[in-house]
Amino acid sequence: MSDWTAIEALPSPRLTELFEADPARLDTFSLDVAGLHFDWSKTHLTREAVAAFAALAKAKDLAGRRDAMFAGEHVNVTEDRPVEHTAERGEGNPESVSRARHYQARMRALIDAIEADAFGPVRHILHVGIGGSALGPDLIVDALGREADRYDVAIVSNVDGVALEDAFERFDPAATLLVIASKTFTTTETMLNANSAIAWMTEHDVDDPYGRVIALTASPEKAVEWGVDETRVLPFSEGVGGRYSLWSSIGFPAALALGWDRFEELLEGAAEMDRHFRLAALHENAPALAAFADLYYTQVRHAETRAPFAYDQRLRLLPSYLQQLEMESNGKSVTVDGQPVGRPTAAITWGGVGTDAQHAVFQLLHQGTHLVPVEFIAVIEAGDTLAEDHHRQLLLNAFAQGAALMKGKQVDDPARSYSGDRPSSTILLDMLDARTLGALIAFYEQRVFVNGILLGINSFDQFGVELGKEMAKAADQGGQEFDPSTTDLIRRAGLN
Ligand code: F6P
């Protein structure tokens, strides 16, 4: 009997029947943690399902693996590294935490220096980085930066020069700080963008452009080699994975845009979620329950995707942030021991912003043939100051969509009927501030971790991104034999 037998045998009653059968259902499947309210009552999770997943968690030693991660053991086995992003928020082994604190002190000192005009007047922050070196800071600055209005921040990731030119057009080169964010300090796109930004400053007669560069990296020696003065290199630990790095010096533009105190609140919010994850029993543990629902849909109901929708404009970048976090972490085919995993791993994460998405993709969610677990993320306190109609409409729409997905509607005309029984979960924040956003992101990280452990995979490597990069590099150097189709495309674009 496999560890999954009891889970695969779980019955699939309709959601409305689950509510009818259990008057306490809402209480059982909702939870309040760190200013976030979670509601999984409109998913097919049952007490029986939670018990079956808890048994699986025991068999997979979830508690042991979790403690090993926080203790700094090398749980990233394929890269033989610890997983240290929680140490950035003070939750980890003392050595990792104290190293993180030391690096944060450097970061803070540099922010103080910028604020004290050590670089002359600075209005613009041009941050170049990609993947985890861009998505996290971008999310934080976009969600919380507009309130602070301290610096104009552009986060440029795409190697398409149009992205960089857009920033050049907005920015005054003499009032710009160039921030190069790269864990490895070798990523082609980032280094090309960095070189072009230096050329732009030089063309505009900026005195000593390299003197206006700040490097955020786990490879400080490479940054120095590239031309950044050691005093302006903000290191972070190798054990902090790229997609988990916004808490480290990679969060520098966020700390600058929000101010240090709010950056610390972000870390504290995340730490509060970490403590909840470590200490709460599984049946009232938010990341664990969310992961159980994920796994119920991927393993039992064969859902291939999941779709978070941010019903808050400030969180519009959350779905793309989650795509990297979830798909780069758990989009794997082999177990930690290198064996075929033998079952579906991460669902494809896609999603969008409400209410826009209702007028675009919700048709498929309500009447399409795919089962898509939907997640609504909304905030009680409005982000806008307009008459309350806007926020009222926003929230009512989010809640009504969840109700409609579950309830459905049967009429004589099949084209106008809705099958219902379509699952959704809701995360409702009291307010969106640094603390709750920190807790929200940490929740997603730990949920990914639980998924990974129960699937038996390593969530912390990403070898799948290498092959395409290698082939592009080889093609650039003329050393790659391609198939006829690719050869033809290269020829047509005049690249050979
Ligand atoms: O392409 C994948 C990846 O390695 C991500 O995991 C990472 O966040 C991104 O590239 C950027 O890497 P770096 O920070 O080293 O430039």
CA distance 268 to 274: 10
| pLDDT the model gives residue 1 | 60
- β-partners of residue 178 are 126, 213
* pLDDT above 90: residue 149: no
ipTM over 0.95: yes
- The pLDDT tens digits of the residues spanning 376-426 come to 999 999 999 997 799 999 999 999 999 999 999 999 999 999 999 999 999
* pLDDT above 90: residue 480: no
Q: Which of 61, 68, 8, 35 is nearest to 454 (CA)?
A: 61
CA distance 27 to 203: 63
Cα(238) to centroid(ligand 1), Å: 12
Q: Return phi, psi of residue 444, to 5°.
A: -65, -40
Residue to mutate, 192, 465, 470, ligand 1, most ligand atoms under 8 Å from C-beta? 465
- pLDDT over 70 for what percent of the chain? 99
Residue whose Cα lies nearest atom 2 of ligand 1: it is 465
Kindly name the residue from 91, 264, 328, 375 that is annotated as catalytic.
328
Residue to mutate, 184, 190, 470, 471, ligand 1, most ligand atoms under 8 Å from C-beta? 184
Cβ 187 under 6 angstroms from ligand 1: yes
| pLDDT level of residue 496 (50, 70, 90 thresholds) | confident
For the CA of 469, the closest atom of ligand 1 is 1
For the CA of 328, the closest atom of ligand 1 is 6
| pLDDT the model gives residue 394 | 97
Which residue in this structure is represented by tokens 């579906």? 344
Q: Return phi, psi of residue 118, to 5°.
A: -60, -20
Cβ 276 under 6 angstroms from ligand 1: no
Cα(164) to centroid(ligand 1), Å: 19
Residue whose Cα lies nearest atom 16 of ligand 1: it is 182
CA distance 214 to 128: 11
Cβ 358 under 6 angstroms from ligand 1: no
Mean pLDDT of the chain: 96
Q: Which of 308, 290, 297, 240 is nearest to 449 (CA)?
A: 290
| pLDDT level of residue 201 (50, 70, 90 thresholds) | very high
Q: Return phi, psi of residue 106, to 5°.
A: -65, -40
Which token pair is 353? 């912003």
CA distance 357 to 436: 24
- The pLDDT tens digits of the residues spanning 151-161 come to 999 999 999 99
Are 81 and 74 contacting, i.e. CB atoms less than 8 angstroms apart? yes
- The pLDDT tens digits of the residues spanning 181-191 come to 999 999 999 99
* pLDDT above 90: residue 112: yes
* pLDDT above 80: residue 148: no
Cα(130) to centroid(ligand 1), Å: 6
For the CA of 132, the closest atom of ligand 1 is 8
| pLDDT level of residue 87 (50, 70, 90 thresholds) | very high
- Residue 469 annotated as catalytic: yes
Non-local (6+) Cβ contacts of 206 within 8 A are: 173, 174, 212
| pLDDT level of residue 265 (50, 70, 90 thresholds) | very high
Question: What one-character-per-residue DSSP string does 134-160 give?
Answer: THHHHHHHHHHHHHH--SEEEEE--SS
- pLDDT over 90 for what percent of the chain? 94
- The pLDDT tens digits of the residues spanning 1-21 come to 678 999 999 998 999 999 999
Are 250 and 260 contacting, i.e. CB atoms less than 8 angstroms apart? no
Cα(345) to centroid(ligand 1), Å: 21
Cβ 137 under 6 angstroms from ligand 1: no
- The pLDDT tens digits of the residues spanning 209-224 come to 999 999 999 999 999 9
| pLDDT the model gives residue 387 | 77
- Residue 473 annotated as catalytic: no
Q: From residue 200, give the alpha-carbon distance in Å to each of 176, 214, 238, 425.
A: 11, 16, 31, 47
| pLDDT the model gives residue 250 | 98
- The pLDDT tens digits of the residues spanning 325-371 come to 999 999 999 999 999 999 999 999 999 999 999 999 999 999 999 99
Question: What one-character-per-residue DSSP string does 435-463 give?
Answer: HHHHHHHHHHHHHHHHHHHHHT--TT--G
CA distance 305 to 331: 12
Residue whose Cα lies nearest atom 1 of ligand 1: it is 465
- Residue 332 annotated as catalytic: no
CA distance 396 to 380: 11
* pLDDT above 80: residue 138: yes
**pTM to 2 decimals?**
0.97
| pLDDT the model gives residue 146 | 79
